[in-house]
Amino acid sequence: MGKKAIVEGKKQPKVAIIITTYNQEELLEVSLDSVFKKTDYKNYKVFLVDDSGKGEIGKKIKKKFKKVEVITNNNNLGFSKSNNLGIKNAIKNYNPDYFLLLNDDTEVTSKNWISRIVEVGENDKTIGIIGLKIIYPDGSLQNIGGYMKGWEIVKELDGERKKPFEVDHVMGACMLIKRKVTSKIGILDENYSPYLLEDTDYCLQAKKSGFKIVSVPDVKIIHKKGKSIDSLKNKEIFKVRMKNDIYFSRKNLGRFNKIFRIFLYLPMVCIFKKGKDEDSLNPKNFRLRKDFLKNLAIYLTSF
């Protein structure tokens, strides 16, 4: 991956930045402001999908950021459907070489964030999807890619890595996709609506079709996602998690791993929660959930 850097100007590949938003107007404005002020790459266009179902956010953004192409959904469609609309619109009106999926609660910190990941993509034709180092606002590591280990979806935990490396999946909060990937395998699987696991699934589908998935750790972006969100506190979120995880497992895992994840791991998630040491698999680290019976009922209705 150490060949010539991308030539400036007209020879730069066209990048369509796809951002979907639901109700985070203030964070979205900060994100867009950072993109336009801190990006040294020239050949890109931003496509915003207003997924609020009202269109008010899109109108305000268009007024403040005139370069943004706004697409408005009449209803809240979720991550995969909204990103797919953005991708289709970009193909029709911009004909890009790359699609860069970007969350509305991210903030650019490195001027070369696009130029660097595009450079990595251009220097290896077998690469299909590229991620980078995603950090929390306090600077700690959030995501730098990950792997499938049997039934388990695991993260790369070495935040000190410097050179691009292959992974099985990268986080959809900032994910660069080559046009030839969408041409070969299509766009995001909308069965994952409204959100969760569509990014991991898409990376795995790309790998199955012969594309490399690469993480570029020498560039980073801030993602303002909460560090300690318990998805089981909100039953609607938990319902989505169970439904999508079961679908993901059926689609992507081998027979034994599929059975293990669906019929052992997920019920355990319903019943137990981890203590303070989130990375510890010590049985002493787990606590019984007070509402585990309700969780199990939701799990059983998710098939």
Q: What is the DSSP string of 10-46?
A: GGSPPEEEEEEESS-HHHHHHHHHHHHHH----SEEE
Residue that is last in its domain, among 223, 254, 284: 223
Are 203 and 83 members of one domain?
yes
pLDDT tens across 180-219, in order? 999 999 999 999 999 999 999 999 999 999 999 999 999 9
Same domain, 217 and 250: no
Model pLDDT, residue 285: 75
pLDDT at 257 > cutoff 80: yes
pLDDT of residue 11: 83
Choosing from 168, 202, 223, the residue where a domain stops is 223
**How confident is the model at residue 227, as a pLDDT?**
53
In the structure, what pLDDT confidence band is assigned to residue 256 with cuts at 50, 70 and 90?
very high
- Chosen domain end from 189, 223, 257: 223
Asked whether the beta carbons of 249 and 263 are under 8 A apart, the reply is no
What whole-number percentage of the chain has pLDDT above 70? 91
**pLDDT-derived band at 273, boundaries 50, 70, 90:** confident
Q: Do residues 135 and 200 share a domain?
A: yes
Question: In 3D, which of 121, 119, 100, 103 has the Cα closest to residue 45?
Answer: 100
Is residue 38 predicted with pLDDT exceeding 80? yes
Which residue range is the domain that position 282 belongs to?
235-300
In a domain, 255, yes or no: yes
Q: What is the average pLDDT value for the chain, to the nearest integer?
A: 92
Note the pTM of the prediction, 2 decimals: 0.93
- Name the domain count of the chain: 2
